[in-house]
A and B are shown apart, each in its own frame.
Chain A
Amino acid sequence: MTASLKVAGVRHAFRDLPVLDVVDFEAAPGEFVCLIGPSGCGKTTLLHVMAGLVQPTGGHVVVDGRGLGGQGENPRPGYVFQEPRLLNWRCVRENLRIALEASRVPVPEWNAAIESSLARVGLLEFQHAWPLTLSGGMRQRLSLARALIVRPDYLLMDEPFSALDEMTARVLRRELLELLKETPTTVLFITHSISEAIFLADRILFLTRRPARIFKELRVPLPKPRDYGSADLYALEGQVVREVLAKWGYYNGPPPRAGGRDPGGGS
């Protein structure tokens, strides 16, 4: 379950539009790596490459020494999308069973795997419910359970909490870290939230605007478990934001006054 990841010289272009400049990085087994970049910078494309959905124009991805897209049994990712992407016409339990059917998990272990997985994300009592009767947070928990139940070599997450309200998102982030403590997994997590990345990650990679390239790497110096409201997390966030926004070319001074008038005009 804990594979090492190596992304070597990955480039990608859609026709003439370069999306990924050269991207190079490695992740150690069990490491939690966050990728941060401005919207539209090619983060999702990079994740698709890492899932084997997109064959990059250049470079390659190696998982535990095995290349993606090669001959034979490919390394398997677990994937949590921004939206739950469940089969809404199959009940909660069936959603997991169908994922298991396509996995390497032996049939005799399915029932136990489904039950322990649902128990861990707090959905056991909803196992026969239709997904659309669940709340957004519960659906995303099921999506997370589906990604982990197939015993993936590595876990890819594409802004999985950004569509949830902040309180639900905070609960789910904490639960994610708990789950990973029980089943250590190498994670590649895309976000546009610097505070989310600092809360979750061992290491953060910052991407430039399109075409994406890594321009900064930060090993988060705070001990785990971290506290969302803590002063050192807040201070680190402020420091990183100032540095990164300048690089992305966003306005980075004190906020302009409402109405956009000249500050001296009214006095």
Chain B
Amino acid sequence: MGTASVAVLLAVWAAAAALFPKDYLPSPAAVAATLAENLADPDSYRHIVVSVRRTFGGFGLALLGGTVLGILMGTSRRVEYLCDLWVTVGLAVPSLCWAFVGLMFFGLAETGVYFAVLWIVLPFVTVNVWQGVRTLDAGLTQMSRVFRFSRGAVVRHVVLPQLVPYLFGAARYGLALAWKATAVAELVSQQDGVGYVFGKWFGLFHMPQVLAWTVTFVTLMLGAEVFLVRTLEAGVTRWRREVRL
């Protein structure tokens, strides 16, 4: 299925490229050639590594912060009352705003990227975890009280395992969002990273490079989703999968 749809996309792209001037829409072959050049250039990997670091760094902070905040919002009416509006506002603020705020606060320092990614991704993780906490099994909470589980044991053995599906939902969406946020922030404030390279080639109106980097970018995102998130998820939800056999 996946292979077929990729083939169809390439065919449509090739047909369209034949109709437009090649400055506007280069052919798949031209883009593939540029991509091969890029992959042979060590400098490309420097940009990729920097972007991966920023994406995962910012995403990690957001996952941690969003989980804590989501659990607090789900368990304390006061925190929920306090944060409900601001989480909704956070969802609505455009990524570009945070990128510029990061630039204003931290100048050209890399901290500005982490700052932007954190604030862009945080509300999405928070909302997911908050919803998850609402579905916690009251019967199990009661059980843990009767058996006098410590607070740590409740979090580790009762609450977090029930939140796993919500955390993975947050991770999938959040990681994709973090990639895009990183690219936007790099475009605004950095002299390296995929976002910066993207901006440079767009400024030069070099379409084969713009598309080649788009392909690189999407491939990295899919790789993170398929190999990292899905593999982890399959491991953590073993107890559920074996039952279906």
- Chain A interface residues (CB < 8 Å from chain B): 51, 53, 76-77, 79, 81, 83, 85, 87-90, 98-99, 101-103, 130, 132-133, 146, 150
Interface residues of B in 197-214 (CB under 8 A from A): none
Are the CB atoms of A85 and B139 closer together than 8 Å?
A: yes
A51 to B144 alpha-carbon distance, docked (Å) = 12
Residues of B within 8 Å of A130, CB to CB, are 238-239, 242-243
Choose among A87, A133, A150 the residue that contacts B140 (Cβ–Cβ < 8 A): A87
**Which of the listed residues B142, B146, B149 has the most CB atoms from chain A within 10 Å of its own CB?**
B146
Name the residue on B nearest A100 (C-beta).
B147
Complex CA distance for A146 and B146, rounded to whole angstroms: 12
Contacts of A76 in B (CB 8 A): 148
Count B-side interface residues using an 8 Å CB cutoff: 20
Instruction: Report which of B147, B238, B242 forms a contact with A79, defined as CB distance below 8 A.
Output: B147
Question: Are the CB atoms of B146 and A53 closer together than 8 Å?
Answer: yes
Q: Interface SS of chain B: helix, strand, loop or mixed? A: helix
Number of interchain pairs (Cβ within 8 Å): 55
In the bound assembly, the distance between CA atoms of A133 and B153 in angstroms comes to: 24
Q: How far is the CB of A131 from chain B (nearest CB, A)?
A: 8
State how many angstroms separate the Cβ of A98 from the closest Cβ of chain B. 5
Contact status A133-B139, CB under 8 Å: no
- B157 interface hit (Cβ, 8 Å): yes
CA distance A89 to B150 in the complex (A): 18
Question: Is B77 close to A, CB under 8 A?
Answer: no
Interface of A is mostly: loop
Please indicate the chain B residues that have their CB under 8 angstroms from the CB of A98 in the complex. Answer: 149, 153, 157
CA distance A76 to B148 in the complex (A): 9
Point out the residues of chain A lying under 8 angstroms from B153, CB to CB. 98, 101-102
CA distance A89 to B242 in the complex (A): 11
Shortest A14–chain B CB gap in Å is 16
Nearest-neighbour CB distance to chain B for A73, whole angstroms, equals 10
- B residues with CB within 8 A of A: 139-140, 142-143, 145-150, 153, 157-158, 161, 164, 238-240, 242-243
Residues of A within 8 A of B142 (CB): 53, 81, 85
Q: Contact at A53–B161, with CB atoms within 8 Å?
A: no
- Selected A-B contacts with CB under 8 Å, 16 pairs: A53-B146, A76-B148, A79-B143, A79-B146, A83-B139, A85-B142, A85-B143, A89-B164, A98-B149, A98-B153, A102-B147, A102-B149, A132-B239, A132-B243, A133-B242, A150-B147
Contacting B145 at CB < 8 Å: which of A53, A133, A150? A53
In this complex, what residue of B is CB-closest to A74?
B148
Q: How far is the CA of A101 from the CA of B149 in the complex (A)?
A: 8
CA distance A79 to B143 in the complex (A): 8
Contacts of B164 in A (CB 8 A): 89
- Give Cα A146 to B142, complex, Å: 15
Contact check, A77 vs B146: say whether CB atoms are below 8 A apart. Answer: yes
- In the complex, the chain A residue whose C-beta lies closest to that of B241 is A130
- The list of the 9 closest CB pairs from A to B, nearest first, reads A89-B161, A130-B239, A132-B243, A79-B146, A85-B143, A89-B239, A102-B149, A102-B148, A85-B139
Q: How far is the CB of A132 from chain B (nearest CB, A)?
A: 4
Once the chains are docked, how many angstroms separate the CA of A130 from the CA of B241?
10
Contacts of B239 in A (CB 8 A): 88-90, 130, 132
Having A88-B239, A101-B149, one finds 14 other A-B pairs with CB under 8 Å, namely A51-B146, A76-B148, A81-B142, A83-B139, A89-B164, A89-B240, A90-B157, A98-B157, A99-B147, A101-B150, A103-B148, A130-B239, A132-B239, A132-B240
Query: Do the beta carbons of B140 and A85 come within 8 Å of each other?
Result: yes
Inside 8 A of B147's CB, which chain A residues have their CB? 79, 99, 102-103, 146, 150
Q: How far is the CB of B135 from chain A (nearest CB, A)?
A: 15
Minimum C-beta distance from A126 to chain B (A) = 13
A76 CA / B149 CA spacing, docked (Å): 12
> Bound state CA distance, A36 and B182, in angstroms?
64
Chain B residues with Cβ under 8 A from A88's Cβ? 239-240
A85 CB contacts on chain B under 8 angstroms: 139-140, 142-143
